[in-house]
Amino acid sequence: MGAVAPLVLKFEAFPERNLTVILFKDVTNAGEIHAKLLDRSLEPELALINPSKVQSVFALHLAAHKSIAAHEREALATHTLHSEVVFNLSGLKHITEGLKRFGMAEDASEVLVCRFDATDEDIAATRALVKGIEVDIETALEGLRDQDAIKKNYKTGDLECQAGVGTIEDAVLARIATAPMR
């Protein structure tokens, strides 16, 4: 079986930019990757996200859009454009907490890997870096999603997510969109 085609997200407001997204399951070297992330020796630079905390591809797209906008204004809250995606996805005010909750854990068995403006070489290097099974994000993400953790992280109330009022998706997108930009 060949590699799954990565998902490539495009940005209407930033037509020269894109975000390549690859989802891996059964990852066996998360500790090694996490150590490289912490000592800033990860090549290529990547956003490493816990997929159980991602409500939807659209939420990821929104977080990435906010990151590009901050980068264009030279107003990143974090050290890199890629860590900014993880932070913006969290919808939190505290950077460390956002990266900790939404970033890949040291013992992760699944990881959502994102790279802005990825070249073929970047994609090959990412596939070589992560020892795991590449899966289709559109079909696999729903099965990895932890709705209880998402509700807790975004502090969504039951009334807010009832039918006829709104959905968890609506609440998550609202939190990401309205989180303060620096």
pLDDT value for 160: 58
Q: Is the pLDDT of residue 1 over 70?
A: no
CB 21 within 8 A of CB 112: yes
> 71 pLDDT exceeds 80?
yes
> Among candidates 27, 66, 101, 95, which has minimal Cα distance to 178?
66
Q: How far apart are CA 150 and CA 126, in angstroms?
A: 27
DSSP string of 104-147?
Answer: PPTT-S-EEEEEET--HHHHHHHHHH--SEEE-HHHHHHHH--H
Structure confidence at residue 161 (pLDDT): 59
Could you report the per-residue pLDDT of 83-123, keeping only the tens digit for each? 999 999 998 889 999 999 999 999 999 999 999 999 999 99
Residue 90 is predicted with a pLDDT of 93
| CA atoms of 131 and 22, how far apart (whole Å) | 13
Tell me the C-alpha distance between 66 and 9, whole Å: 13
Query: Residues 23-37: pLDDT tens digits?
Result: 999 999 999 999 999
Distance between CA 95 and CA 164 in Å, rounded? 34
Q: Looking at residue 63, what is its pLDDT?
A: 97
Q: Which two tokens stand for residue 55?
A: 């409500």
110: buried, middle or exposed (CB in 10 Å: 19+, 13-18, 0-12)? buried
Residue 23: in which H helix or E strand, if any? strand 18-25
Residue 40 has pLDDT above 70, yes or no: yes
CB atoms within 10 A of CB 86: 27
20 forms beta bridges with 8, 115
Domains of the chain: 7-178 (3.30.2380.10)
Question: What tens digit of pLDDT does each residue of 126-181 get?
Answer: 999 999 999 999 899 999 999 889 888 888 866 655 655 578 788 888 888 887 66
Dump pLDDT digits (tens) for 44-64.
Answer: 999 999 999 999 999 999 999
pTM over 0.95, yes/no: no
